[in-house]
Amino acid sequence: MKTLQKSALALAASSLLATAAFAQTAPAAEAPEASPITANVTVVNDYRYRGISQSNFKPAIQGGFDYAHESGLYIGNWNSSISWISDSYGPNGGFSGNGFTAGQVSSSIEMDFYAGIKKELIGPGFASDLGILQYYYPTSGIPNTNGLTANPNSTEVYVAQNFTFGPVTGFAKFSYAVSTLFGTANSTGSYYPDLTVNYDTGFWGLALNGHVGYQYFAGNQPTNATVWNGNSVGNVSNNTLYGYTDWKLGVTKDFGGGLSGSLAYVGTNAATYQGVYAYSNPQGKNLGRSTGLVSLTKTF
């Protein structure tokens, strides 16, 4: 393989020398105009959103597209394979054994739709962003929980401020739920502030990544809620049960040609209540436990 690469380089060099005189007199070609549409696809060993596994510690495939207008308006769609809804309402899920028929729930994908406007109001490298995001989960067979849970489909509005200080880039963001959030009853008004910072090392295409966020859940549990070890948790605040801080430390490698890879270590302080993890899979394992992530992304 190395020999083949050297031969290709030598051939390219010969071609450049042979056309050098023409290149000096030929008019410069205009750079192709950047497309307003971009697309991406990612494979990752565990889909973590706000620190919580959405795929039960299993690999996920993800992808989407974005359209950005020169005015600053944008729309986009992003999708990922998931398992948390099927796990929660399946025969061994958290809502079985509570007087409800679990059934065979089918929900294997998360579809996110978003739109907004992004403008550099402060100055170059400091884009302000305002938008709305709809999380949509095509589902079938979810049992009637008599108000213990809400529809998993969720809507958030968000505002973000991007920043650039030399090799340091990032953003501060605030997301606010205008619907119930991720199936939690009475949770309209929940919010998630977060901060992400990246540092371009200038070496070998490596960038260091850091993130911290806090998921606050508004409202209280329904008065008849008995989802924690069969014990009543009615009127306990949703945030007592489900609120947490998440964090991430990682490194990203730009391979060129729109291909990048990343390694990260993520975790949360998601609590336990009455001996049960706030976020657990059917086997009782903590979906917010600390773990390493490996991903590969191709942008088109």
Predicted confidence at residue 201, as pLDDT, reads 97
Span 217-261, pLDDT tens digits: 999 988 777 655 566 677 789 999 899 999 999 999 999 999 999
For residue 270, name the pLDDT band (cuts at 50, 70, 90).
Answer: very high
pLDDT over 80 (residue 10): no
Domain map (residue ranges) of the chain: 37-299
pLDDT over 70 (residue 157): yes
Least confident of 55-59, 121-125, 282-286: 282-286
Least confident of 83-87, 127-131, 189-193: 83-87
Average pLDDT, the chain: 84
Which CATH class, in words, describes the domain spanning 37-299? mainly beta
Single-letter residue type at 268: T
